[in-house]
Chain A
Amino acid sequence: MSAATDKETETSAPGAPPPAVGVEDLECRYGETIVLSGVSFSVREGELFFVIGGSGCGKTTLLRHLIGLMKPAHGIVRYFGENFTNEDLETRRDLLKTFGVLYQNAALWSSMTLGENVALPLEQYTALNRREREEIVSLKLAQVGLAGYEDFFPSELSGGMRKRAGLARALALDPRIVFFDEPSAGLDPVTSRKLDELVLQIRETLGTTMIIVSHELASIFAIADRVIMLDHDARGIIAEGRPRDLAAASDDPRVREFLTRGEEKA
């Protein structure tokens, strides 16, 4: 303990635990079109970190770069201090195991039932036997309010139910970092609030770090520790901080407008 405090007083950087996610000067592009550039931020372990911004500003794109589905044109992404961007495929795969991702369209595998969808990561990466897996699956589905839906195919569910099932799959391995692309889009207000509670509960019990793309102002104000706001024209971050502070006192009118739904002016 004392050794750690000593180190911390020397210089803050080397002794402090590395941030769960560190992004340095990231540039994202599709071909020649630059969507984001000069993006830097870091996320502490256990933080609920929101990415907000208007439609088409590059939130999904940023997420795809963070989880390694796309290679950044420039810049580095680190997880727990380890360079993710320049690692070889093998190490990246090992790290990817510790992530959970909920895609914007849920991305459930359509040829498998919900139970099989959630069980696949468990089959791949745990030593659990079939019965134990089934128990975990039913717990995960119960957590997202889909208890009993094991034998249903994704095509037999509504859009919001699919989204929740996708969340159950993302949480199957109790990952250390979870990425959510618009988790509450397509959910009713009550379910959406329950989802927020679930997110808080998971963070509390497991200390999971969550990076959440969302437009849902209610949940941003309810649970976000910190947000960054991206902008299409600025091609990068235009604000960073706690949502309440930004809504009340951001210098940037775009940020205030977004966080108050443009009602401030009226």
Chain B
Amino acid sequence: MPAVPVKASAETVVEGDDLVVTLGGAWRITGPLPAWRQMLGERSPRAVRIRTAGLERWDSSLVRFVFEVQDWCRNAKAPCDATALPETVRHLVGQLEQAQDKRLSADHSRNFFAELGLAATDLVRQTRQFADFVGECTLSAIGLIRNPGRFRWRDCLSEMQQCGAMAVPIVSLSSFLVGLTLAYTGAIILRQFGGDIWVADIVGLSTLREMGAVMTGVVLAGRTGAAFAAQLGNMKAGEEIDALETLGIAPVDFLVLPRIVALTLMTPLLAMYANCLGIFGGMVVSASVLQIPPNAYWIETQANIGLSDVSVSLIKSLVFGMLIAVAGCLRGLQAERSAAGVGRAATSAVVTSILLLIVADAVFAVLFNVLGI
């Protein structure tokens, strides 16, 4: 029948000490529904009898209503007579009653001390996992050197394109702007001494020794590290990693190593490119704001930076690239098997890689100082 919706109705009549509730109409959960508490008001009947009159169609809303009435009766110790209801309604009400007592506890509660303890043990576990993973990657890399034919060159090349060539625009922009900013900042002080030309040295040295590699690292951590984690996390959620493992293929050989190799090779290239653009950015500021001709700037730059500075940049960026790839892949493989887990993996990949990057940078600073490079 085309439902001409008759509103759900519940009328109460007092008969002696009893309250008679008459249910009728069409009960739709999405429609307007009577409320038991309002109907009851201040009354407290000794017993409740439920009847039906003109009950057309009903759904869970009726079941819930009857449940509420019976629940009230239980608390008020008033007998409730629901025998007039259709058998199926009573059956469903029974099911609802049983379900009420049955709630299983899935403990997702958070307690400060528990969290603290978990975080501490987690830190230990994570460090160990990281060490394990690095070990696994090393073994896999040794396997690669012994047997280069088995390496997934094609995957590696497409990753190289993804994390190298495709990152050129964003690396260009960020390193150019950093060079520009360095030049402006340097100029503020150097102007006071009339040593404008030394802007070239400041920009050149700080770009090569620090900013070029670090900026590239940060950009790649956000761009590629997160992508690695999301890809692998998604594959894990879809049981693709399990499928590899049951075939006897180590995910590290198949998925991780190509990515590490790709990023480790591409980061130094990108960093060199970033260095050039950083120096170029300084040159633009010098030429336009400080009135230093570009060739003078270039000569000054050449005079003061040497091969050691270039190799510092190369070594740093090589290590950064490796760290980012390792962190990204590890986070991806550790991801929980859900969409939210993949998201968390990507986030924590970025956080981990940037953290590792800064720590590594500090270690390099000390190391190069000791070695006098």
**B-contacting residues of A (Cβ < 8 Å)?**
17-18, 45, 80, 97, 110-111, 113, 122, 125-128, 132, 135-136, 138-143, 147-156, 173-174, 201, 204-207
Contact = CB atoms under 8 A, between A and B. Distances in A.
B104 A148 contact: yes
B104 A110 contact: no
Contacts of A18: 2
A139 B96 contact: yes
A173 B29 contact: yes
Given A17-B1, A151-B103, A97 B30 contact: yes
B57 interface: yes
B158 to A, nearest CB: 25
Top-6 shortest CB links A-B: A174-B59, A142-B99, A148-B102, A148-B104, A147-B99, A151-B106
B292 interface: no
B353 to A, nearest CB: 25
Max chain B C-beta neighbours (<10 A), residue from A141, A148, A207: A148
B60 A207 contact: no
A136 B99 contact: no
B32 interface: yes
B295 interface: no
Given A110-B338, A126-B30, A156-B106, A147 B98 contact: yes
A138 B242 CA distance: 35
B100 interface: yes
Contact of A174 (B60, B96, B98, B108): B60
Contact of A147 (B57, B102, B337, B338): B102
B340 interface: yes
A173 B95 CA distance: 18
A157 to B, nearest CB: 10
B157 interface: no
Given A142-B99, A155-B338, A201 B104 contact: no
Contacts, number: 97
A122 B100 contact: no
B26 to A, nearest CB: 11
A135 B97 CA distance: 9
Max chain B C-beta neighbours (<10 A), residue from A97, A136, A150, A204: A136
Nearest to B65: A132
B340 A111 contact: yes
Given A147-B98, A148-B104, A155-B336, 6 more contacts: A132-B68, A139-B92, A151-B103, A153-B338, A204-B88, A205-B89
Contacts of B58: 205-206
10 contacts: A111-B339, A126-B29, A136-B61, A140-B60, A151-B104, A151-B106, A155-B338, A156-B106, A174-B28, A174-B59
Contact of B2 (A17, A127, A142, A207): A17
Contacts of A139: 60, 63-64, 92, 95-96, 99
